[in-house]
Structure 1
Amino acid sequence: MRAYQNTIRSLNTMVESGIVPGISWAIFEGQETLKNVTGLAQLQPQKEALKDGMLYDVASLTKVVGTIPLIMQLKDEGQLDWDDPVVNWLPELNDDRATIRNLITHTSSIEGYIPRRDELPADELTKEMLDTLRVGPNLNKQIRYADVGLIYVGWIAEKILGEPVQTAITERILKPLQLKSATFAPDPKNCVPTEIKKDRGLIRGQTHDPKAYVLGKHCGSAGLFATLDDLLQFSHALLETNLNGLVKPETIASLFYDQTPMNGEHLRSFGWKLFHSKTDDRHFVISHTGYTGTWMVLDKQTDQGMIVLTNRVHPSADNQAFLDDRDRLFATYLNEKDL
């Protein structure tokens, strides 16, 4: 296995320089794995050591670990197709141009302003998101990353399955994959804290994401908590066994190609962002990040990956240095993995 010296040095520097309180990371090639857990889980109100096996609020990784596999299952079962209009299930949108493909490639251009969005109760926020938001002029013209697409996809799954999306993800994805610690309802004492906010205090064991906090079990864009080992197991299952047979091989393979409904290459798959490998064939690698300080990079062709979990928003989300370092780390890892 490669040594990944520059990548590991950069990961450790994030803790040593105070950019993140602590970090849990794994780099794997097939069944060989480099792994480390270092630093602090909490800085305030008192310092607390980071331990292996602690649960992280993975934020938007919920989209690709939970909601995308769920919707792929429904596709495989013939319950929907990628180019079906969203209004087939959410007629309130009142625009038959936007499709499921648009939602999961962030090309739907669904937009609009909801006053006091984060202060509304779940039923009112749901109603406003359906009645107020509309398809804008950039449908099929522009990628604009937004949570609304995967929230809508979760609601489509709810219409088909007759249960909350987070319940469906738990029963149809997390349990069959034996992700033993992954949950939407963690014990706070086992969780790495996130931000300290005026209205919520120290957030620990509750989702940091404002919309997911309000929508609860009806949110498919955020809300999942998982350990490093959970995400390692998920990654191996996605790359090696088609999620242990939960999804058809051709459906998993489709994740590693541009799926946007636009001409040219736009580096967006179903939920995942695409990067070119540094190999001669420049095959695609998939990646996703989470606002709280999490990310994954996976290469199916070479069975390689990197998983990084931090709580970069603790004690404050004002942390541009993390975003800058993360971008450099992506490049460093991609260079070293293909040497």
Structure 2
Amino acid sequence: MPLTDLIDKVFAPAANSIENGNIPGAVLGLVTADGERSVRWAGYAQIEPVRENVSRATWFDLASLTKVIFTTTRILQLVEEGRVALDDPLVNVIPDLRQYDMNAAERRLTFRQCLAHQTHLPAVEPLYTYGQDPNTLRAFVLQRVWQPGPPVYSDINYILLGIAIERIAGQALIDQPLPERFSFRPDPKLCAATEKDTWRGRVIRGEVHDENAFALGGASGHAGLFGTIDGVLDFARSLLDGSGLSPDSIKAIRRREAEKRTVGWEGFYPGWHGGDSCSPDTIGHTGFTGTGLWIDFERGLAWSLLTNRVHPSRHKDSGILALRRATGEQVIALFDQLG
């Protein structure tokens, strides 16, 4: 039985969520290591100010999937090129990081620590409330005296990694080349809408939903990437078949750096967003706008669920955790039936 024969059943949780008004629309895709894929979609790319249907070609604000699809991958490619090493301190590339205090803890942070969220940096900081000049905000991030705390999942880690990539490339992230079906500057008419934003005073469509990424110029190491379901599946397959990164880099994203973290990714643990039926050799990541990607290396299978669950507002219970888990359980149960 091909994947196309089970996609409707796998999509059932998302279809129910759309029917119940929890999310406007969704696109679900599955891909195997040998390239077989199947995609299903339903609902709306936008409901305000006018309704527009979602399609397979709809571009989604991938939110924190930027961290793994772009930032982690680019850092690992730089490692492969010999430009940096995972255990190098960031100051090798960003010598002005906390430049007024040579003993500052930030000056000892390594690429590996930031990628695996094993730093003292906070989860988030409302940088956009300090202004909208990208260069000034970058300087603020670099010179801020960050208060020490336990390791947490941190956007600041990836903002720093994004700055490092910019320094090496000599080019802002938003201007850097991307694979087909990914963009930092998508056509708004092709995009799923996100929030009716009180700060910007409009429905956000085709520009990054994350306020900090917007204030940093539209793209940052933690958010800003847009893509279609087929772009995400292309990326997932490149990790499954080993064509996207070197064997050492693939090992790095599969090997635990902490209980729940690998380099860049979240590793399987009971209760996570990907469901409890996937193998222990599964990595995944989610995005605040309602996106997610999971890769089960043992099964040679990946799936991605893209939704615009924050449209028209984040201030509601979309049930996204339950939806993601139910989808993961369906994916594995039905895939295993294929034998």
Q: Using structure 2 for the length normalisation, give the TM-score.
A: 0.85
**Structure 2 counterpart of 1:253, from 251, 254, 260:** 251
Secondary structure of 1:241's aligned partner: coil
- Paired letter, 1:165: L
Structure 2: runs of 5+ lacking an equivalent: 99-103, 270-275
Give the corresponding residue for 1:263: none
Give the corresponding residue for 2:203: 202
Distance 1:283 1:55 in 2: 31
Distance 2:243 2:110 in 1: 25
Q: Structure 2 vs 1, CA of residues 273 and 72 (structure 1 numbering), >3 Å: closer, same or farther? A: same
Which deviates more from structure 2 when the two are superposed, residues 206-215 or residues 316-325? 316-325
Structure 1 moving runs of 4+ over 3 Å:
1-7, 111-119, 276-279
Answer yes or no: is 1:40 the counterpart of 2:44.
yes
Answer yes or no: is 1:274 the counterpart of 2:267.
yes
Is the Cα–Cα contact under 8 Å of residues 278 and 334 in structure 1 kept in the other structure?
no
**Structure 2 counterpart of 1:299, from 296, 304, 312:** 296
1:52 CA drift (Å): 2.3
Give the corresponding residue for 1:92: 97
1:278 CA drift (Å): 4.4
Answer yes or no: is 1:315 the counterpart of 2:312.
yes
Answer yes or no: is 1:65 the counterpart of 2:73.
no
Q: Structure 2 vs 1, CA of residues 115 and 164 (structure 1 numbering), >3 Å: closer, same or farther? A: closer
Distance 1:318 1:218 in 2: 24
Answer yes or no: is 1:289 the counterpart of 2:286.
yes
Number of equivalenced pairs: 317
1:71 CA drift (Å): 0.4
- Paired letter, 1:161: A
Give the corresponding residue for 1:240: 241
Give the corresponding residue for 1:148: 156
* Deviation string, structure 1 residues 122-180 (Cα, Å, up to 9, x no partner): 12211211111426143xxx3x1111111111111222222223434x2xxx33xxx2x
Q: Structure 2 vs 1, CA of residues 7 and 52 (structure 1 numbering), >3 Å: closer, same or farther? A: closer
- Paired letter, 1:202: V
**Structure 1 counterpart of 2:17, from 10, 14, 30:** 14
Distance 1:304 1:102 in 2: 28
Q: Using structure 1 for the length normalisation, give the TM-score.
A: 0.85
* Deviation string, structure 1 residues 17-47 (Cα, Å, up to 9, x no partner): 1111111111233433231111111111122
Is the Cα–Cα contact under 8 Å of residues 207 and 223 in structure 1 kept in the other structure?
yes
Distance 2:211 2:24 in 1: 22
Answer yes or no: is 1:125 the counterpart of 2:133.
no
C-alpha RMSD over aligned residues: 2.4
Distance 2:55 2:204 in 1: 18
Distance 1:283 1:115 in 2: 35
Distance 2:211 2:41 in 1: 28
Give the corresponding residue for 2:273: none
* Deviation string, structure 1 residues 266-305 (Cα, Å, up to 9, x no partner): 12111110116747xx542010101111000112232201
Give the corresponding residue for 1:82: 86
Distance 1:53 1:5 in 2: 18
- Paired letter, 1:54: T
Distance 2:193 2:119 in 1: 33
Is the Cα–Cα contact under 8 Å of residues 112 and 132 in structure 1 kept in the other structure?
no
- Paired letter, 2:81: E
Identity level (%) = 30
Distance 2:141 2:277 in 1: 41
Distance 1:220 1:137 in 2: 21
Secondary structure of 1:35's aligned partner: strand
Q: Structure 2 vs 1, CA of residues 145 and 316 (structure 1 numbering), >3 Å: closer, same or farther? A: same
Distance 2:17 2:197 in 1: 23
Distance 1:297 1:86 in 2: 29
Q: Structure 2 vs 1, CA of residues 115 and 222 (structure 1 numbering), >3 Å: closer, same or farther? A: closer
